[in-house]
Structure 1
Amino acid sequence: MDDDTETYILLLLSDSNLPTGSFVASSGLESYVKHGFASSSSSAADATVEFVRNSLSSYARSALPFVSDAHRAVMEYSSHQEMDGKEGVGTDKSLDDILKALTDLDGLYQAMTLNHVSRRASMSQGVALLTLYSKGFSRPPTLSAFSGAESRDHESRMQILLDQFKLKVRREEVFGHLPICWGALTAALGLNLERAQYLHLFLHARSILSASVRLNDLGPYGAQQILLHAVRPLVATEATRCRNLRTGLLDNSVEGFDEAALGPANTWPLGEILAGRHDLQHSRIFNS
């Protein structure tokens, strides 16, 4: 895929109007503010930046390994299908293999997400991404003239894969967590891994700032200033630091895989505790 096409996909995925459910989640910010932790900072802007820094650091370390492995698995499946074609037993087995890989990743993320509130938000946004692909990014027959046969074949394979995974979510055979669905979605759209990782972290940070505006801690202009001047280096740092992390599930052999150094981990226990206490608030705006 050429750079212009990838850039266009980035613009589509960064659109705040996409129905992905991100605006009902604060990633623990509401609980953080209600429990008084923001009051220790000199200003609301400083408190928000500090929360974004801690949340982004922990989320990058815990979620990016799953984004990377899901993306890698779908890209390998796509390459295999392009080489071997769509017919025959090998294709069915390959589809089963990729679904099993995504299911295993999803199960591990469920086990490593330490509180029910974060799990609930992740599952809600994950299935929204799968729906977005089938209803928003799939090509209707009326627009088939705008693509070649090879492109239509690829889109058809990706449609079948994501529809099958979504069906497993509906049957409650898998959870459908956000990082796994994001990795699968961006791979299906042809976005390279580095850009998929960076955009995922950017959207996480942007959703926190959006929540801060809705909580009336920041104004919309102040949030944009923070997004431009403070968030950009934070996202770049975490994307670089965590870009090579993996879960270890997709490796042929786990020998030699340093889980402590290269695997997913939660690095902000306070954030997990506060997120888990979200439902205990007397009144709340967000679901997480």
Structure 2
Amino acid sequence: MDDDTQAYILLLLSDGNLPTGSFVASAGLESYIAHGFAASIPALDSTTNFIRDSLSSYARSALPFVHDAHEAVSRLGNWEILDDYLESTLNQLKALDELYENMTLNHVTRRASKTQGVALLTLYSRGFSKPLLSQYVTQTDPSMEEQRDAVMAKLVDCFKLEIRREETPGHLPVCWAVLTAALGLSKERTRFLHLFLHARSLLSASVRLNTIGPYAAQQLLSHAVRPLVQAEATKCRDLKTGILSPSDADFNDTVDGPAVTWPLGEILAARHDLQHSRIFNS
């Protein structure tokens, strides 16, 4: 896929109006504020500190799953042996999903992740499929593009069916990778955009919690968030889960695999439901 097409997909996926359910999640920020961790320092500093710590932990725990799920879906391109590859890819996605479920330490994060994950698959089926006015859409190679779209649509439908049958959880990092790989976005841009959207959702939650204003949030997004996202995307770009290559002798799950690096964030997120009043569901 050429750079212009990928840039356009980036614009579509970064649209704040996408129906992904992310606006109902604060990733523990509401609990962080309610427990008084933001009371002793200026609001901009406390918000930036939370974004930094949350990004660091989320990148280390989620990006290995994004990497492997994206790679598994990207391999699915041979129409002639679709059924064999489709079943193999679904099994890999389910294995990744199960591992992420087991590594997610609290029920609040699991709930939000599953809600947003299935929303992304629905977004692909209902928001990125070609409209009925397809005669107005210019295609460089209709047969090849239609073939790939059919393969990806079948994969997404099968994965959604597995989620509805409760045979797999459908967590956000795995479903995000399925969506972006199906759209043809590169792994590098997939990782960067995923972290950017995580940081942006935290700023959006901070505005709704009235800890900072919309202009301050935009300032942080423009100047403070970018180096944080770039640093984490670069640091975690080679991390994997080991599921796609279990026989790799060089893989060390302690160094190269997913991990939770901010225990305090997990504790605060787990205490979210104990608050007397709440705006967000996580």
TM-score range, shorter chain: over 0.9
Q: How is 1:125-136 mapped onto 2 (pairs within 5 angstroms)? A: 125-136=116-127
By how many angstroms is 1:77 displaced?
A: 1.4
Counterpart of 1:210 in structure 2 is 204
SS in structure 1 at match of 2:39: helix
Q: Distance in 2 between matches of 1:246 and 1:264?
A: 7
Please state if 1:10 is matched with 2:10. yes
2:85 partner letter: S
1:115 partner letter: N
Please state if 1:245 is matched with 2:239. yes
Q: Distance in 1 between matches of 2:82 and 2:153?
A: 15
Q: TM-score under structure 1 normalisation?
A: 0.95
By how many angstroms is 1:254 displaced?
A: 4.1
Please state if 1:37 is matched with 2:61. no
Q: Distance in 1 between matches of 2:192 and 2:160?
A: 25
Q: Distance in 2 between matches of 1:191 and 1:134?
A: 16
By how many angstroms is 1:4 displaced?
A: 0.4
- Which segments of 5 or more consecutive residues in structure 2 lack a partner in the other structure? none
2:66 partner letter: V
Counterpart of 2:96 in structure 1 is 105
By how many angstroms is 1:158 displaced?
A: 0.3
Counterpart of 1:24 in structure 2 is 24
- Which segments of 5 or more consecutive residues in structure 1 lack a partner in the other structure? none
SS in structure 2 at match of 1:119: helix
By how many angstroms is 1:256 displaced?
A: 2.3
Counterpart of 1:160 in structure 2 is 154
Counterpart of 1:277 in structure 2 is 271
SS in structure 2 at match of 1:77: coil
By how many angstroms is 1:143 displaced?
A: 1.1
The answer to whether the Cα contact below 8 Å between 2:82 and 2:151 also exists between their aligned partners in 1 is no
Q: TM-score under structure 2 normalisation?
A: 0.97
Identity of aligned residues (%): 64
For the aligned residue pairs, the C-alpha RMSD in angstroms reads 0.9
Q: Distance in 2 between matches of 1:105 and 1:165?
A: 12
Counterpart of 1:177 in structure 2 is 171
1:266 partner letter: V
Residues 106 and 35 of structure 1, relative CA distance in 2, 3 Å threshold: same
Q: Which moved more, 1:134-143 or 1:116-125?
A: 134-143
Please state if 1:77 is matched with 2:70. no
By how many angstroms is 1:61 displaced?
A: 0.2
Please state if 1:189 is matched with 2:183. yes
Q: How is 1:138-157 mapped onto 2 (pairs within 5 angstroms)? A: 138-143=129-134, 146=137, 147=139, 148-157=142-151
By how many angstroms is 1:252 displaced?
A: 4.5
User: Cα deviation per residue 1:209-262 (whole Å; 9 max; x = unaligned)?
Assistant: 000000000100000000001000000000000011000000050422111110
Counterpart of 2:112 in structure 1 is 121
The answer to whether the Cα contact below 8 Å between 2:63 and 2:239 also exists between their aligned partners in 1 is yes
Residues 120 and 144 of structure 1, relative CA distance in 2, 3 Å threshold: farther
1:246 partner letter: K
Q: Distance in 1 between matches of 2:135 and 2:238?
A: 37
By how many angstroms is 1:150 displaced?
A: 1.0
Q: Distance in 1 between matches of 2:226 and 2:235?
A: 14
SS in structure 1 at match of 2:38: helix
Where is the helix percentage greater, Structure 1 or Structure 2? 1
Aligned residues: 279
Q: Distance in 2 between matches of 1:13 and 1:91?
A: 28
2:272 partner letter: H
SS in structure 2 at match of 1:232: helix
Counterpart of 2:57 in structure 1 is 58
Q: Distance in 1 between matches of 2:255 and 2:205?
A: 32
The answer to whether the Cα contact below 8 Å between 2:47 and 2:206 also exists between their aligned partners in 1 is yes
By how many angstroms is 1:103 displaced?
A: 0.2
Deviating 4+ runs (over 6 angstroms): none
